[in-house]
Chain A
Amino acid sequence: MFFNMLAFELRYFVRQPSFYIVSLMFFFMAFFISSSSKFPLGGANVHMNSPFSIMMLTITFCVFAMFLVVNFVASSAIRNSESKMDELVFSKPVNPIPYQTGRFFGAYLVVLVVFLTVPLGVLLGSQFGLSVGWLDSELVGPNKFVYYAAPYFYIAVPSLLVLSAIFNSVAVYFKTMMSVYVAAVVIFIAYQIASAYFDDLAFRNIVVYADPFGLGSLIDLTRYWTVSDKNTEVLTLSGDLLVNRILWVVLGLAMFVSLGKLSNRIVAKKQKKQFVVSTFVKNKQAALISSAKNYKSKGVSTQSQLVMRSLFELKQVIFSAPFMILAGVSIVTLMIPLFAPIGAYGTTNWPITANMVNIISGISGLFLFVIIAFYSAELVWRERQSGMGDIVDSFPVHNSVFWVSKILALITAISGLFIVGMILTITVQLFKGQFNLELGQYLFRIVYLSLLPLIMLTVLAFFLQIISPNKYVGMGLFILYYIVQMVMDSYGFEHHMYHFSKSSSVPYSDINGYGHFLQAAHWYTLYWGALSLVLAIVGFALWHRGPSQTLRTRLSMLRYNMSLKGQVIVCVSALVFVGAGYNIYYNTRVLNEFTTSDAFQDKQVSYEKQFAQYKDLAVPMVTDVDLTVDIYPKKRALSAVAKIKFTNTSNEPISRVLISSPQHAKSWDVTMAGGKIVEKLPALYSAWFEFDQPLMPNEIREGQLSVTREHTGFTDSGSDTQLVANGTFINNWELFPNFGYNRRLQVADKFERRKHDLPELERANKLEDSQYYTQSDFGQATGFINFKATVICDHAWLFTK
Chain B
Amino acid sequence: MLSITGLSKTYDNGVHALQGVDLSIGKGMFGLLGPNGAGKSSLMRTIATLQSADAGSITFDGIDVFKDPQALRQRLGYLPQDFGVYSRVSAYDLLDHMAVLKGIHNKAERKESVEGLLAHTNLYQHRSKAVSGFSGGMRQRFGIAQALLGDPDLLIVDEPTAGLDPEERNRFHNLLVSLGEQKVVILSTHIVEDVAELCPNMAVLAGGKILLEGNPIALTDKLQGQIWRKAMSQEEAQELEPQLPVISKRLFAGQTILHVLAEQAPEGFQPSHANLEDVYFSTLLNHRNSQVA
**Which residues of A are in contact with B by a Cβ distance under 8 Å?**
275, 277, 281-282, 284-286, 288-289, 291-301, 304-305, 308-309, 312, 316, 382, 386-388, 390-398, 401, 545-550, 553, 556-557, 560
Whether A308 lies near B97 (C-beta < 8 A) is yes
Q: A304–B76 Cα gap in the complex (Å)? A: 20
Most buried by B among A294, A312, A550: A294
Interface size bracket, B side:
35 or more
Most buried by A among B74, B101, B104, B105: B101
**Contacting residue for B103 out of A288, A293, A297, CB 8 A:** A297
Whether A394 lies near B100 (C-beta < 8 A) is no
Select from chain B the residue with minimum beta-carbon distance to A296. B151
**Contacting residue for A547 out of B51, B86, B97, CB 8 A:** B51
Select from chain B the residue with minimum beta-carbon distance to A387. B84
Task: Given A295-B104, A300-B74, A301-B103, check contact A391 B146 (CB 8 Å).
Answer: yes
Whether A297 lies near B104 (C-beta < 8 A) is yes
Whether A553 lies near B52 (C-beta < 8 A) is yes
Select from chain A the residue with minimum beta-carbon distance to B111. A292
Select from chain A the residue with minimum beta-carbon distance to B119. A288
Residue B70 interfacial (CB < 8 Å): yes
For B250, the chain A residues whose CB sits under 8 A away are none
Whether B152 lies near A295 (C-beta < 8 A) is no
Whether A281 lies near B124 (C-beta < 8 A) is yes
Residue B78 interfacial (CB < 8 Å): yes
For A288, the chain B residues whose CB sits under 8 A away are 115-116, 118-120, 124
State which of B42-50, B220-228, B233-241 sits at the interface with chain A. B42-50
Min CB distance, B42 to chain A, in Å? Answer: 10
Whether B98 lies near A285 (C-beta < 8 A) is no
Whether A305 lies near B100 (C-beta < 8 A) is yes
Min CB distance, A360 to chain B, in Å? Answer: 32
Residue B61 interfacial (CB < 8 Å): no
For A401, the chain B residues whose CB sits under 8 A away are 101
Whether A396 lies near B74 (C-beta < 8 A) is yes
Whether B150 lies near A297 (C-beta < 8 A) is yes
Whether B84 lies near A386 (C-beta < 8 A) is yes
Whether B124 lies near A547 (C-beta < 8 A) is no
Q: A180–B68 Cα gap in the complex (Å)? A: 45
Whether A395 lies near B116 (C-beta < 8 A) is no
Select from chain B the residue with minimum beta-carbon distance to A556. B52
Residue B113 interfacial (CB < 8 Å): yes
**Contacting residue for A387 out of B83, B97, B148, CB 8 A:** B83
Residue B73 interfacial (CB < 8 Å): yes
Residue B40 interfacial (CB < 8 Å): no
> Would you mind naming 18 contact pairs between A and B with Cβ atoms under 8 Å apart?
A275-B125, A284-B119, A292-B117, A293-B116, A294-B113, A294-B117, A297-B75, A297-B152, A300-B74, A386-B87, A390-B45, A390-B83, A391-B83, A393-B50, A395-B73, A398-B70, A545-B49, A547-B51
**Contacting residue for B50 out of A301, A316, A394, CB 8 A:** A394
Residue B197 interfacial (CB < 8 Å): no
Task: Given A285-B122, A546-B49, A549-B51, check contact A392 B112 (CB 8 Å).
Answer: no
Q: A298–B113 Cα gap in the complex (Å)? A: 13
**Contacting residue for B112 out of A275, A292, A316, A395, CB 8 A:** A292
Residue B180 interfacial (CB < 8 Å): no
Known: A288-B115, A298-B103, A396-B103. 8 other contacts (CB 8 A): A289-B119, A294-B113, A299-B74, A299-B103, A386-B86, A390-B83, A391-B143, A395-B103
Whether B115 lies near A292 (C-beta < 8 A) is yes
Q: A394–B117 Cα gap in the complex (Å)? A: 19
Select from chain A the residue with minimum beta-carbon distance to B47. A394
Q: A286–B73 Cα gap in the complex (Å)? A: 30
**Contacting residue for A294 out of B67, B76, B97, B148, CB 8 A:** B148
For B55, the chain A residues whose CB sits under 8 A away are none
Q: A397–B97 Cα gap in the complex (Å)? A: 12
Q: A289–B68 Cα gap in the complex (Å)? A: 34
Whether B73 lies near A547 (C-beta < 8 A) is no
Task: Given A294-B151, A305-B101, A547-B50, check contact A285 B73 (CB 8 Å).
Answer: no
Q: A557–B67 Cα gap in the complex (Å)? A: 8
Whether B124 lies near A285 (C-beta < 8 A) is yes
Residue B82 interfacial (CB < 8 Å): yes
Whether A296 lies near B51 (C-beta < 8 A) is no
Whether A560 lies near B68 (C-beta < 8 A) is yes
Whether B112 lies near A391 (C-beta < 8 A) is no
Residue B109 interfacial (CB < 8 Å): yes
For A392, the chain B residues whose CB sits under 8 A away are 98, 101
Min CB distance, B98 to chain A, in Å? Answer: 7
Whether B73 lies near A298 (C-beta < 8 A) is no
For B102, the chain A residues whose CB sits under 8 A away are 297, 395-396
Whether B112 lies near A394 (C-beta < 8 A) is no
**Which residues of B are in contact with A by a Cβ distance under 8 Å?**
11-12, 45, 48-52, 67-70, 73-76, 78-80, 82-87, 97-98, 100-106, 109-110, 112-113, 115-120, 122, 124-125, 143, 146, 148-152
Min CB distance, A431 to chain B, in Å? Answer: 38
Whether A292 lies near B78 (C-beta < 8 A) is no
For A293, the chain B residues whose CB sits under 8 A away are 109, 112-113, 116
Select from chain B the residue with minimum beta-carbon distance to A287. B119
For A388, the chain B residues whose CB sits under 8 A away are 83-86
Min CB distance, B81 to chain A, in Å? Answer: 9
For A305, the chain B residues whose CB sits under 8 A away are 100-101
For B103, the chain A residues whose CB sits under 8 A away are 297-301, 395-396
Q: A577–B266 Cα gap in the complex (Å)? A: 81
Whether B101 lies near A394 (C-beta < 8 A) is no
For A548, the chain B residues whose CB sits under 8 A away are 11, 51
Q: A292–B116 Cα gap in the complex (Å)? A: 5
Whether B73 lies near A394 (C-beta < 8 A) is yes
Q: A52–B125 Cα gap in the complex (Å)? A: 69
Whether B112 lies near A546 (C-beta < 8 A) is no
Q: A545–B117 Cα gap in the complex (Å)? A: 26
For A382, the chain B residues whose CB sits under 8 A away are 86
For A281, the chain B residues whose CB sits under 8 A away are 124-125
Q: A304–B17 Cα gap in the complex (Å)? A: 38
Min CB distance, B134 to chain A, in Å? Answer: 11
Whether A390 lies near B78 (C-beta < 8 A) is yes
Most buried by A among B78, B80, B110, B149: B80
Whether B49 lies near A297 (C-beta < 8 A) is no
For B118, the chain A residues whose CB sits under 8 A away are 288
Whether A390 lies near B50 (C-beta < 8 A) is yes
For A550, the chain B residues whose CB sits under 8 A away are 12
**Contacting residue for B51 out of A300, A304, A316, A546, CB 8 A:** A546
Whether B124 lies near A284 (C-beta < 8 A) is yes
Select from chain A the residue with minimum beta-carbon distance to B175. A289
Q: A494–B120 Cα gap in the complex (Å)? A: 65
Task: Given A292-B113, A391-B83, check contact A277 B125 (CB 8 Å).
Answer: yes
Task: Given A288-B116, A292-B116, A294-B113, check contact A547 B45 (CB 8 Å).
Answer: yes
Closest 9 CB pairs of A and B: A387-B84, A292-B116, A546-B50, A297-B150, A288-B119, A297-B103, A390-B80, A396-B74, A396-B73
Select from chain A the residue with minimum beta-carbon distance to B93. A312
**Contacting residue for B125 out of A285, A299, A557, CB 8 A:** A285
Q: A11–B113 Cα gap in the complex (Å)? A: 55
Q: A301–B98 Cα gap in the complex (Å)? A: 13
For B51, the chain A residues whose CB sits under 8 A away are 546-549
Min CB distance, A301 to chain B, in Å? Answer: 5
For A300, the chain B residues whose CB sits under 8 A away are 70, 74, 103
Whether B122 lies near A295 (C-beta < 8 A) is no
Select from chain B the residue with minimum beta-carbon distance to A395. B101
For A557, the chain B residues whose CB sits under 8 A away are 69
For B68, the chain A residues whose CB sits under 8 A away are 560
Min CB distance, A300 to chain B, in Å? Answer: 6
Q: A312–B96 Cα gap in the complex (Å)? A: 12
For B119, the chain A residues whose CB sits under 8 A away are 284-286, 288-289, 292
For B80, the chain A residues whose CB sits under 8 A away are 390-391
For B45, the chain A residues whose CB sits under 8 A away are 390, 546-547
Whether A298 lies near B78 (C-beta < 8 A) is no
Select from chain B the residue with minimum beta-carbon distance to A399. B70
Q: A282–B119 Cα gap in the complex (Å)? A: 9
For A284, the chain B residues whose CB sits under 8 A away are 119, 124
